[in-house]
Amino acid sequence: MFTDTDDTRASLEEVGYFTTREVANTIYLAAQLDRPILLEGPAGAGKTEMALAIKRATGMKLIRLQCYEGLTDKEAIGSFSDELRQLYVRFHDGTFDEAAKRVSDRSFFLAGPLLSALETPARCILLVDEIDKISHAFEAQLLEFLGEWQLTIPGLGEVKAHQPPFTIVTANDERQLGYPLLRRCARIYINHPTPEQEAAIVASRTPDCSKAIHYFIAGFAKTLRAFKMEKPPSISEMITLALALDKLNLKEIRDDHKSVILPFIAKTEKDRASLLVSGRFESFMDNARIIADEMSRHDVLVPESVPEPDSVMPLEVAAQ
């Protein structure tokens, strides 16, 4: 995947993902040691984007398991196809015992994301997204996979990985994850980026926008998140806002652009109403301009030193 920590960080920055040396070092070591990475932090902070950036940087295939309440083995691992079994038995010329044995092999099992990740000939990236949405019981079922890179499937037996997938597990702080899961992972806490870092991210995705727009977007994002919105804007939403402003050929942001901006950053009626309180939106715009002006004076788009994340648990600590 990557040759060393510096190569990891440089490769990710080339595809628009700016991170710290410590996080890059964890990614490199996790890849070398075949250990999963657990990314915890608020929604919209760029956890999923890390997996997508590694895909862009390496060209590796990405397989995604989107977690949700009620997720079962059938969706995550796979299941035998009753339709294929019935068709085979119907047209089979041999004995019943032969048919029964045949329909229990791998040919009749439809793989879910976890099994697909184990069976991919070349190493792939596996993204287990929002694991804190599933139950503790299903979380426990993932321990064999994350610890041994294999699955024990009724009717099939043990299925071991051809190549251990480079696995990223994300969580949005919705519940406490179990210690057995933490023990198997290198853990990183990903918070929202600094304004300098967000300006660099937005610039990498919207190269046709002016620097003034990049700086303003970053300052506006910081201001909105400090306001504790019901649904704080994610990095991807701020990139979309920058693209929208560019489509309108706007080179600067004025208070009368409120109708353009609000649909992209106010995603609940409560947030919209809060932002429309007399003078509040305008004061937020003023604060965003102050932050933008400060960055502009230093002409900072790619920060020389990105602040370290709130919490990075080294591999040897996570294993304890």
pLDDT tens digits, 107-156: 778 899 999 999 999 999 999 999 999 988 899 989 999 999 999 998 88
Average pLDDT over residues 157-181: 93
Distance from C-alpha of 40 to C-alpha of 188, rounded to nearest angstrom: 6
Is there a single domain that holds both residue 127 and residue 216?
no
CA dist 197 to 15, 240, 307, Å?
Answer: 14, 17, 9
pLDDT confidence of residue 5: 96
**pTM for the structure as a whole:** 0.80
Is there a single domain that holds both residue 181 and residue 206?
no
Is there a single domain that holds both residue 141 and residue 187?
yes
Strands (E), the chain: 37-40, 62-66, 78-80, 109-111, 125-129, 150-153, 157-160, 166-171, 186-189, 311-313
pLDDT confidence of residue 260: 85
Based on the structure, what is the number of domains in the chain? 2
Distance from C-alpha of 297 to C-alpha of 286, rounded to nearest angstrom: 17
The answer to whether 61 and 98 are in contact (CB under 8 A) is: no
Residue range 239-275, pLDDT digits in tens: 999 998 888 887 667 777 888 889 999 999 999 999 9
CATH number of domain containing 171 = 3.40.50.300
Q: Is residue 260 domain-resident? A: yes
pLDDT tier for residue 317 given thresholds of 50, 70 and 90: very low
Q: Is residue 85 domain-resident? A: no
Is there a single domain that holds both residue 204 and residue 284?
yes
* 316, two tokens: 């040897």
Is there a single domain that holds both residue 56 and residue 147?
yes
For tokens 């004061």, the residue is 283
Is there a single domain that holds both residue 172 and residue 52?
yes
Is there a single domain that holds both residue 165 and residue 23?
yes
Is there a single domain that holds both residue 18 and residue 165?
yes
Average pLDDT over residues 179-191: 94
Residue range 22-63, pLDDT digits in tens: 999 999 999 999 999 999 998 888 899 999 999 999 999 999
* 181, two tokens: 């899961």
Q: Is residue 89 domain-resident? A: no
* 41, two tokens: 């932090």
Q: Is residue 231 domain-resident? A: yes
> Where in the sequence is the domain holding 137, given as residue range(s)?
5-77+112-191+308-318
Distance from C-alpha of 258 to C-alpha of 8, rounded to nearest angstrom: 40
pLDDT tier for residue 319 given thresholds of 50, 70 and 90: very low
Residue range 131-142, pLDDT digits in tens: 999 988 899 989
* 53, two tokens: 């950036």
Average pLDDT over residues 214-232: 91
pLDDT confidence of residue 300: 63
Is there a single domain that holds both residue 134 and residue 258?
no
Average pLDDT over residues 210-215: 88
> Percent of the chain, pLDDT > 70?
87
Is there a single domain that holds both residue 186 and residue 200?
no
Q: What share of the chain is helix, strand, coil (3-state, %, to 5)?
A: 50, 15, 35
pLDDT tier for residue 79 given thresholds of 50, 70 and 90: confident
Distance from C-alpha of 126 to C-alpha of 116, rounded to nearest angstrom: 9
pLDDT confidence of residue 308: 44
- Counted residue by residue, the chain has a size of 320
